[in-house]
Amino acid sequence: MTPGLTGAEPAVITDHEWHHVAWQFRFRDQTNWFFLDGRMIRRVELPAPGDPRVMVNDAVDVGVPFVIGGFPHSQDPPFHLNFGTFEGQIDEFRISKTLRYPIADRLSIVRQRLPECGVNIPYAVKLATDAADGSVTWKITDGRLPVGLQLDASAGRIHGTVTEAGPPAFIVVEAQDESGASSSRRFEIRTGAGRLLTASLPPAFVGVAWRAELNTRHLTAPLKWKVIKGKLPEGISLANDLNGMPQQQGWSPFTVQVIDANGEQRQREFVLKVLPRKLLDIGVDEHTVALFDWQGPNGKLIPDRVGDESHTLTWTNMGGDRRVTWPGRARKFPQFTGHGEHGFASAGKGPERLDFRTCKTEWTLEAWIRRGGPLQAFGGTVRGKQMPFHFGHVCGTYDLTNRGVWELYLSDAESPDGSMAPGIHFFGAAREHALENLDPWHRPAGIVGQRQNAGISDTEWHHVAWQYNYAEDLHELFLDGQLIWRMKSPDGRRLVNDRQHDAQFSVSTRLTGYSRYGGGFNYLGEGNFFGQIGEIRISSVRRYGR
């Protein structure tokens, strides 16, 4: 049975006559109402059982046109899906900034989640009703408000200043209108401690202006900021935010303390990574074998900037322009949920240049990546459960059919602290030439520097690079401009690049076969990347550390 049906009939349209339909939504209680010919036929409250998501209308520049009557796909020429396209007539269409049609026939207190209180911070929230007859009076019939708060009986406003922290308070509020009708609802009010919310910083670049906000919650202005341990990079200063123009490459650990007007103190450890300016805009030069920069008029066809048309990337499944911006990079890059329904693959199979076959002495593979978080799709559920993000295919020709040559990945397998490290798989034609799990966690003997610097635990942009040299048989991994891992002849095996195959080069997803606008895309399968992937470049030289 469809959730939320009210029992009003008819609830569906079965004839060819004109009908009036309406959808209403209210942010306060995250409730959807659906109407057919003036009758409310369905009511859906968010979050739904087993799914924490609610509706937040904060998307910017989504690149999707407003359409009426169907879904012409973002292909050229347009491709019309065989489902979801309206057949019939559509008359007046109106969007209003109010609820035009009644949603209740008797007094009802509106469901809402009350905001947290902060100690010694003024607090106010107004309760609301539907279908009130005249003025409404309010009272608490069960429970107590946190110390310092009170309920205004005529306005339905909870206000005041909480003076001490405590456990969550549960209250039952009753509203009564002039007709004598009443309604009750239970609410929870939590008291939250002051917090310094910012947990990590976007990368900075030598000689480029940089700024990062430091966000707090439940701390009373004015705030006083101070570096109490370590020091900021040259050119960066701390006021109400961090800003300036760094002058030198390197990683700078430091601890920030904030003190609010009530004397509350909070502190946080940060690492500000200042990267070489050349990593800000990765382009084509005489050493470039291939470059995918994701820029262009749409997100459907992503060319290799070196010019090989067989390398052009496009959707593994029917999709759309998924490019968005994130602090740390000014350009738009595709965002992936980790479920595998959206990815990119080359038109050609067995691409020689993308398998490093033209790199006769050495190479560099590099990519900008941004981990989305510990749970795929930002914690959303699929088939009733959340999916952790433990391993993500960044790019390569290796796939779930065990074809292909190589794979750049991000993984927390064998991680000592749950952070994710970059790594490489590389396969020759013979089994004894397989090089697997070339990463700091599986092979800690190769770690250069401090172990904790080899992993990624935040959701910022990071530059990763793998370098190899035939003469030395040396593999190197770089993270944000620093060498984090190196190893010669892992397991006593030299790299042999002689494997023939007919797999595609893919980005963000391990394919299960050939995929182009459908086919062998890897929905809910193993190895899909969650987050964003930026520029990918293959070069015929070792670019870093020399």
The dihedral sign for the CA sequence 312, 504, 395, 539: negative
pLDDT score at 68: 85
Consecutive H or E run containing 319: none
Residues 353 and 289: beta-carbon distance below 8 Å: yes
Task: Provide the β-strand partners of residue 99.
Answer: none
Please state whether the peptide bond connecting residue 10 to the residue before it is cis, i.e. omega within 30 degrees of 0: yes
- No. of H helices and E strands in the chain? 0, 39
pLDDT band at 46; cut points 50, 70, 90: very high
Lowest mean pLDDT among 86-90, 93-97, 380-384, 465-469: 380-384
Instruction: With a cut of 70, say whether residue 17 has pLDDT above it.
Output: yes
Integer Cα distance of 85 and 69 in angstroms: 6
Residue pair 468/495 in contact by the 8 Å Cβ criterion: yes
> Of 68 and 126, which is predicted with more confidence?
126
Amino acid letter, 133: D
369-393 per-residue burial string, b: 16 or more CB within 10 A, e: under 16: bbbbebebbeeebeeeebbebbbbb
Strand 157-161 to 149-152 pairing: antiparallel
Indicate the Cα dihedral angle 128, 129, 135, 137, nearest 10°.
-70
Taken in order 463, 466, 467, 472, the sign of the CA dihedral is: positive
Quote the pLDDT of residue 63. 62
What average pLDDT score do residues 45-67 get?
A: 80
Provide the pLDDT confidence category of residue 76 given band limits of 50, 70 and 90: low
Residue 477 DSSP SS3 = strand
pLDDT digits (tens, 9 = 90+) for 223-267: 999 999 999 999 999 998 999 999 999 999 999 999 999 899 999
Assessment of whether the complete model's pTM goes beyond 0.85: yes
Q: pLDDT above 70 covers what percent of the chain?
A: 96
162, 171 contact by CB (below 8 A): no
Between vectors from CA 491 to CA 490 and to CA 495, what angle results, nearest 5°?
50
> 145 versus 321: which is more confidently predicted?
145
Higher-confidence residue: 76 or 358?
A: 358
Least confident of 368-382, 388-402, 469-483, 489-503: 368-382
User: 423, 438 in Cβ contact below 8 A?
Assistant: yes
Q: What angle do CA 432, 439, 325 make, to 5 degrees?
A: 130
Q: pLDDT digits over 423-479, tens only? A: 999 999 999 999 999 999 999 999 999 999 999 999 999 999 999 999 999 999 999
Q: What angle do CA 133, 135, 138 make, to 5 degrees?
A: 110
Question: Bridge partners of 129?
Answer: 109
d(CA 443, CA 427): 17
- Beta carbons within 10 angstroms of residue 121's beta carbon: 20
The residues near 244 (Cβ < 8 Å, ≥ 6 apart) are 209, 210, 235, 236, 237
Spatial separation of the C-alpha atoms in residues 497 and 69, rounded to whole Å: 52
Q: Which of 399, 374, 426 is nearest to 506 (CA)?
A: 399
Mean confidence (pLDDT) of the chain: 93
**266 HSE (CA, 13 A, CB side):** 19
- Tell me, what's the pLDDT at 62? 63
Query: From CA 288, how far away is CA 536, in angstroms rounded?
Result: 11
Q: What is the DSSP letter of 545?
A: -
Question: For residue 437, which amino acid is it?
Answer: N
Q: What are 413's two structure tokens?
A: 């397998």
Digit-coded pLDDT (tens) for 262-302: 899 999 999 999 999 999 989 999 999 999 999 988 888 99
Whose structure tokens read 């539907």? Answer: 130
Other beta carbons within 10 Å of 211: 12
Over 90: is that where the pLDDT of 383 sits? no
Q: What burial letters (b/e) apply to 154-167, b meaning 16+ CB within 10 Å?
A: eebebebbbeeeee
Q: Tell me the CA distances in angstroms from 157 to 131, 140, 150, 278, 290, one per residue in order.
A: 18, 12, 8, 56, 62
User: Hunting for tokens 């602290």 — which residue is that?
Assistant: 417
Taking only the tens place, the pLDDT of each residue in 347-367 is 999 999 999 999 999 999 999
Mean per-residue pLDDT, 147-154:
97
Q: What is the band of 78 on the pLDDT scale with cuts at 50, 70, 90? A: low
Give the Cα separation of 385 and 376 in Å (integer): 11
Helical segments of 74-220, H only: none
In 388-460, the DSSP E strands lie at 391-396, 406-411, 421-426, 435-438
Q: What pLDDT, on a 0 to 100 scale, did the predictor assign at position 83? A: 60
Give the gyration radius of the chain's Cα atoms: 28
Question: What is the predicted pLDDT for the residue at 422?
Answer: 99
| Residue 170: both structure tokens together | 């549960």
- Helix, strand, or coil here: 482? strand
Range with the poorest average pLDDT among 21-25, 45-49, 202-206, 440-444? 45-49
Q: How far apart are CA 258 and CA 267, in angstroms?
A: 6
| Tokens standing for residue 84 | 């979801």
CA-based nearest residue to 461, from 275, 218, 262, 228:
275
- Cis (ω within 30 of 0) for the bond into 115? no
Q: Is-contact 213 241, C-beta < 8 A? A: yes
Give me the helices (H) in 193-239, please.
none
- Domains (range + CATH), the chain: 1-103 (no CATH), 108-192 (2.60.40.10), 195-276 (2.60.40.10), 300-539 (2.60.120.200)
The predicted structure's pLDDT at residue 73: 59
What is the spatial distance between Cα 128 and Cα 423, in angstroms, rounded to a whole number?
Answer: 54
526: left (phi over 0), alpha (psi -120 to 50) or beta: beta
Q: What percent of the chain has pLDDT over 90?
A: 84
E-strand spans in 381-473? 381-382, 385-386, 391-396, 406-411, 421-426, 435-438, 461-469
The pairing of beta strand 461-469 with beta strand 391-396: unpaired
d(CA 488, CA 343): 33
